[in-house]
Chain A
Amino acid sequence: MTYVTDTHALIHHVTDRKRRLGRRARSVFDRADRGLDTIIVPFTVLEEVLLLSEVGKVLIPLPFREFVVSLDKADNVDLAVNDTPVLLEAATFTGIRDPYDRMIIAQARVAGVPLITADEKVQESGLVRTVWD
């Protein structure tokens, strides 16, 4: 199965903070690492990983460029861009004020897959199926 990931979820997995992940979120990432599920990483999420790595909040053991190139080559990860359909989808709902959350939600809606997130506002919005606990 395929899932879209929110930024915090991906970083908790990448940095091995498994206790910060919900049970189902942990299971999805573990399955993806075995090639059984696919994780869509929105452009917005990757951009935030870049900025957090630049300020030293997230340490990844390879240059960011190689990290992205490797993700792009991987079969268990899909990199998604912020294109016109995503923007137009984000324009259809205004209940979520955070513009970055809106783009991530829109990405999941366009892909038609659940979003891995602990964000209660997103979970309760009904805008997208979510996976966490």
Chain B
Amino acid sequence: MFNGFERLNHRDVRSNHFDPRNTQVYTSSVQKEIEMAKEKVMTFVQARSKLSEIVDRVSESGDTYVVSKRQKPVAVIIGIEKYRELSGTSKYLKNVGGKKIFKLGGIGKAVGDIDEAIRELRKSRIEAVAKKFS
């Protein structure tokens, strides 16, 4: 559990301005922490001492940690999935002749009869609409 982490609101991050009036000391349980803000700010010293826990949190719960130095946010620690979303550097995208190629063949698995599953899906959706208006 993290104690004493200050929370920075989104407006502060966008403006790259750390305003102590908009922070609050965070001392609650892990669950409450998850339910509340997903973005937290901490000093470089705090981040270094809690790095292992922070890495677990960003990878497991999608939290974002802003690291501050001299009361200014200077770096962000985010999970690899969120990073790939933001940067477009998915491991499934390969550079082929200067193009980003997503090789789709065989990346997934099907369970059962897909044609039948699609028929059932469409039938259920159409019936749901018909029922709503009948």
Binding site for B on A (CB under 8 A): 7-8, 10-17, 20, 29-30, 32-35, 39, 48, 51-52, 55-63, 65-66, 69-71, 73-77, 98-100
CA of A32 to CA of B115, assembled, Å: 22
Contacting residue for B102 out of A12, A55, A77, CB 8 A: A77
CA of A55 to CA of B110, assembled, Å: 11
Q: Nearest chain-B residue to A7 (Cβ)? A: B118
Question: What 6 additional pairs, Cβ within 8 angstroms, besides A33-B105, A59-B111?
Answer: A14-B104, A15-B110, A48-B118, A52-B114, A70-B93, A77-B104
CA of A73 to CA of B86, assembled, Å: 11
Contacting residue for B107 out of A34, A60, A75, CB 8 A: A60
Q: Interface on chain B toward A: helix, strand, loop, or mixed SS?
A: mixed
CB distance from B52 to the nearest CB of A (A): 24
B100:A59 contact, CB within 8 angstroms: no
Q: Inter-chain contact count A-B, CB under 8 Å?
A: 116
A-B contact pairs, 23 of them (CB 8 A): A11-B108, A11-B118, A14-B106, A15-B109, A17-B110, A17-B114, A29-B105, A33-B101, A33-B103, A35-B96, A57-B111, A59-B109, A59-B110, A59-B111, A60-B107, A66-B85, A69-B84, A73-B88, A73-B100, A75-B100, A76-B101, A76-B102, A98-B126
Binding site for A on B (CB under 8 A): 81, 84-85, 88, 90, 92-93, 96-97, 99-112, 114-115, 117-118, 121-122, 125-126
Which residues in A have their C-beta under 8 angstroms from that of B108? 11, 14-16, 58-61
